Structure 1
Amino acid sequence: MLAITDTAAEAIKSLTTDAELPDGGGLRIAATDPEQGLELSLAAQADGSDTVLTGEGLNVFLEPMAAEVLEDKVLDVQPFTNDEGQEELRFAIGPQAES
């Protein structure tokens, strides 16, 4: 199951609050074409076939292919310097630590 770091959870909560999504809204991750990467969007609710991850005021909806691709991954947020030299935060996917 996809793991979510505390930093990523705070970023998701901030995004969904700023977007004024209704209760139950959240971040949706889709992999309609896994070769092209993942698509992140805000959604008012999960699609019927989504895997729903919830916890501490956040919802993440995983489209079925995304759920499969992310099964053993962790969602994090990392700093990134853009072309203008400004620091931004971006979601990043990495492997889960072995236990």
Structure 2
Amino acid sequence: MLTLTDNAAQAIRDLTANAPEPEQSGIRISSQGEGASALTLTLATAPEPADAVVENEGARVYLDPVAATVLEDKSLDAGADDQGSVSFLVTEQSA
């Protein structure tokens, strides 16, 4: 299952703090088009019915079935640039 770094959890909490339903809001990673050639990340107020839910320290990530399979052995990290823009990075899980 996808894991979240502390940086990613904090970034997700920051992004969802002002959402209409902050206690359920998170980010959703879903597949675009056929197969898993592209994944998109969007803010979500709740999971879709078939989504897998990853939660860490109050941060929620919703994964559609394709994204859940693709990211099964991955870790989600986050960072910010000098202007404060957040970017997410998928890495291999460390042993």
TM-score, structure 2 as length reference: 0.84
Aligned pair in 2 of structure 1 residues 71, 44: CA closer, same or farther (>3 Å)? same
Counterpart residue number, 1:69: 70
Q: Kindly indicate whether the alpha-carbon contact (under 8 Å) linking 1:32 and 1:65 is maintained by their aligned counterparts in 2.
A: no
Counterpart residue number, 2:5: 5
Aligned-pair distance for 1:39?
0.5
1:31-61 deviation per Cα after TM superposition (whole angstroms, max 9, x unaligned) = 13421x2100111110000001123222110
Counterpart residue number, 1:94: 91
- Please provide the CA RMSD for this pair: 1.8
After superposing the two structures, state which structure 1 stretch, 13-22 or 62-71, moved more.
13-22
Q: Secondary structure at the match of 1:74?
A: strand
**Bigger CA radius of gyration:** 1
Could you say which structure has the greater relative contact order, defined with CA pairs below 8 angstroms and 6 or more residues apart? Answer: 2
Q: Kindly indicate whether the alpha-carbon contact (under 8 Å) linking 2:16 and 2:26 is maintained by their aligned counterparts in 1.
A: yes
TM-score, structure 1 as length reference: 0.81
Counterpart residue number, 1:44: 45
Distance in 2 (alpha carbons) for counterparts of 1:20 and 1:72: 31
After superposing the two structures, state which structure 1 stretch, 16-25 or 88-97, moved more.
16-25
Aligned length: 93
Aligned pair in 2 of structure 1 residues 80, 38: CA closer, same or farther (>3 Å)? farther
Q: Secondary structure at the match of 1:18?
A: coil
Q: Secondary structure at the match of 1:11?
A: helix
More helix by share: 1
Distance in 1 (alpha carbons) for counterparts of 2:84 and 2:56: 28
Counterpart residue number, 2:28: 28
Identity of aligned residues (%): 41
